[in-house]
Chains A and B, each alone.
Chain A
């Protein structure tokens, strides 16, 4: 949606301002902003924008994200040009929306698709260098015969430092990111350093607060690195598994095992094909997609999920429509008193906060304490069995959705003139027959776009599944895919479920959802003629 200057040239006929009287091309009043209030607002808005942009740049410079920085600068320049120049009037109205849509709607989709072609997951996050560092770091072993130091964690300014005491020799050292130095004039007591000039020794609580930092802090030495073990001991360690650039492989010094880097899968692999847990992110092409279609376990679950996903959405639409229609017809009776009261109470569920109501329903279906089991006198584990889990979910969907259908059907019924059915009655048609042959088809035509929208919404109704059954029940052969999972909950579990996150695969499932939504939309377009509105 980005536009160049040339794009907006043609707008002069529609809404072009005059060349400003002063002849200025760019300036605060160049587009005819005349009123003092408008001018003030404009100055404030642009000033605020500039301030935010500057603040946004600071961390970018600090962390050396030059591409991001360039984007922020370019966007700021464009914004100032758009709002200070008289020409690009449509852009003045489109720019904020365009930027936000690009960042929060288009970019995520693009990023999803690109992630789908990678092996991005726990264990395959960063570059190969980062993977090597992690492998070496994880295999650190104490160098035999090296001293075990007594450790005091301290700070020098804001930087961490290890104050070390060799209990055998009584020597004191200071270890920083840069290396190990002798330490003079340290106060000792009970075999640990309690104070030193220029350093602040941290208390146990303070160390605990920075425990993660302390755990990964290493002091480089000639023999390896000094590393903490707990909060009071440190030792000189050397990696047991080391990387050799010559063979592009990792060798275990003790066992002699060798893992060679495989750029295709982003892992170090030994001769038997076993990979080290820590790998790196690589492009795997269509691997994630082909896994869905070829891996028998995944394929079986995936197909089952798709079938249930469609069934779930279609049945939801059908039953909500059917009940909504019945109630709408019943209440659409001019001789019925109290129609308004019926109507406003029946649609109440539609107004309730859905997340909370899904959870309430889940608890009503609770096996041990749930209202439904207590009222029925049963002990059904509703979400422990595929059929009952599905029935429970659909019942809740009916409760939540039929009132909306009732609302729109009532509206649609009022737009169908009675003389159509009266004409049929004169023909000797029975009331129900005329309803079936005239009113109902007209209703369907009128509501088709809404039904498609309802289907599309429910197709990705994450809350309905996740908050009720969480996909349960699960079969033992594929604990990642439950019997009532739909695609979006499956994606969610792959990425954020308890077991290791598999972002690449989850993104590939998302791409499948995109494709399905796209197809549904084409059908929807045919019905709603939305495309005709693009003019």
Chain B
């Protein structure tokens, strides 16, 4: 399912920190006036900055607006108060937030481990059906899970009759569903990374007396930490941002995730205006973990852990 990234795939490149090994293409000229050298860069940069930031500034202002209505919210705050935050925290939001965290952490964490195991098998063992299995994974990961929303809903209606604990209106059912949906993409991404870990390492450990599970847990998993971090964190962010399935599955207020809950706050024309402040306070609170994770993710994607360890 497309709970990977918000727009397209994961952004695996890190432009920061690492200087390119050679001079980089630039449009600006070394000659000419200040504007031709850096001025136009600043101009574009500031305009981009303004475009990027103004909705975010607006959310924060609205969250701090004590009146708490859409009509009274301005781009920059005129009055500052935390009343929206205290109101939000006194309502259902903490529960939604907790649900989001549980669903996100659990589905991303378990999917990460299960995908890593499957990727290990595909990367390290030769068995009949391996090619077919890999092709299936490649094929499956193309079709985001939510495209089958109708079938998912009908299936889970049945499941609710039998096992209500993992049926509709249960965060556990949603967790299982996200978990299953993340496996295809994860496995495919991870398999490629696992293949870059030299097989000599496994064989060396094997000669040293390690069993396959000791090789997996002791040698391979520590070496694939970068890709584990990427898939885990993207899986979490994806689960936080998933709306389609969650909105169909979770109608009971207590079971809602933050995305569905916040949507409900301003669902109809009446509440749209009056509860906008509450909504924005919730949005700001929800943004904290995702923004922090994103920053962390940016810094943490450093591949090439094995570089230099093998070969001279």
- Tell me the minimal C-beta distance from B199 to chain A in angstroms: 10
A89 to B122, CA, bound (A): 11
Instruction: Say yes or no: A56 contacts B163, CB within 8 Å.
Output: yes
Given A488-B147, A507-B151, A105-B70 contact (CB < 8 Å): no
Instruction: Say yes or no: A366 contacts B70, CB within 8 Å.
Output: yes
- Tell me the minimal C-beta distance from A136 to chain B in angstroms: 24
Instruction: Say yes or no: A355 contacts B263, CB within 8 Å.
Output: yes
Instruction: Say yes or no: B118 contacts A454, CB within 8 Å.
Output: no
B106 at the interface (CB under 8 A from A): no
B311 at the interface (CB under 8 A from A): no
Instruction: Say yes or no: B145 contacts A411, CB within 8 Å.
Output: no
Residues of A close to B82: CB separation below 8 A: none
Q: Mark B45-81, 1 if CB is under 8 A from A, else 0.
A: 1001101110110110000000001110111000000
- Tell me the minimal C-beta distance from A313 to chain B in angstroms: 11
A10 to B154, CA, bound (A): 40
Instruction: Say yes or no: A7 contacts B151, CB within 8 Å.
Output: no
Given A330-B40, A346-B49, A460-B2, A359-B163 contact (CB < 8 Å): no
Instruction: Say yes or no: A336 contacts B136, CB within 8 Å.
Output: no
Residues of A close to B290: CB separation below 8 A: 351-353
Residue of B whose beta carbon sits closest to that of A317: B8
Instruction: Say yes or no: A38 contacts B213, CB within 8 Å.
Output: yes
Instruction: Say yes or no: A439 contacts B25, CB within 8 Å.
Output: yes
Residues of A close to B148: CB separation below 8 A: 108-109, 111-112, 510
Tell me if B's interface is mostly helix, strand, loop or mixed: helix
Instruction: Say yes or no: A105 contacts B125, CB within 8 Å.
Output: no
Q: Mark B204-223, 1 if CB is under 8 A from A, else 0.
A: 00100001111010000000
Instruction: Say yes or no: A93 contacts B25, CB within 8 Å.
Output: no
B114 at the interface (CB under 8 A from A): yes
Residues of A close to B27: CB separation below 8 A: 329-330, 332-333, 431-432, 435
A407 to B51, CA, bound (A): 16
Instruction: Say yes or no: B211 contacts A496, CB within 8 Å.
Output: no
Residue of A whose beta carbon sits closest to that of B11: A407
B254 at the interface (CB under 8 A from A): no
Interface residues in A462-506 by Cβ distance below 8 A to B read: 462-463, 466-467, 488, 491-492, 495-496, 503, 506
Could you write out 20 A-B pairs with CB less than 8 Å apart? Answer: A90-B125, A94-B117, A108-B145, A108-B148, A112-B147, A330-B44, A336-B38, A346-B45, A350-B6, A351-B294, A351-B295, A353-B290, A356-B59, A356-B279, A363-B266, A363-B276, A399-B51, A420-B25, A454-B7, A533-B192
Instruction: Say yes or no: A491 contacts B142, CB within 8 Å.
Output: no
Residues of B close to A112: CB separation below 8 A: 147-148, 150-151
Cross-chain contact of A14 among B23, B56, B126 (Cβ < 8 A): B126
Residues of B close to A63: CB separation below 8 A: 161-162
Cross-chain contact of B162 among A59, A400, A418, A514 (Cβ < 8 A): A59
A434 to B45, CA, bound (A): 23
Q: Mark B116-156, 1 if CB is under 8 A from A, else 0.
A: 01101110111111111111111010111111111111110
Instruction: Say yes or no: A534 contacts B131, CB within 8 Å.
Output: yes
A202 at the interface (CB under 8 A from B): no
Residues of B close to A348: CB separation below 8 A: 52-53, 56, 291
Instruction: Say yes or no: B20 contacts A360, CB within 8 Å.
Output: no
A526 at the interface (CB under 8 A from B): no
Chain B interface residues (CB < 8 Å from chain A)? 2, 5-9, 11, 13-16, 20, 22-29, 37-38, 40-45, 48-49, 51-53, 55-56, 58-59, 69-71, 73-75, 114-115, 117-118, 120-122, 124-138, 140, 142-155, 161-163, 176-177, 179-181, 183-184, 187, 191-192, 195, 206, 211-214, 216, 240-241, 243-244, 248, 258-259, 262-263, 266, 272-273, 276, 279-280, 282-283, 286-287, 290-291, 293-295
A340 to B293, CA, bound (A): 18
Given A112-B148, A336-B38, A411-B14, A101-B180 contact (CB < 8 Å): yes
Given A94-B133, A360-B280, A111-B24 contact (CB < 8 Å): no
Interface residues in A499-534 by Cβ distance below 8 A to B read: 503, 506-507, 510, 513-514, 517-518, 521, 530-531, 533-534
Residue of A whose beta carbon sits closest to that of B140: A105
Q: Mark A47-68, 1 if CB is under 8 A from B, else 0.
A: 0000000001001100101001
Interface residues in A424-482 by Cβ distance below 8 A to B read: 431-432, 435, 439, 450, 453-454, 456-458, 460, 462-463, 466-467
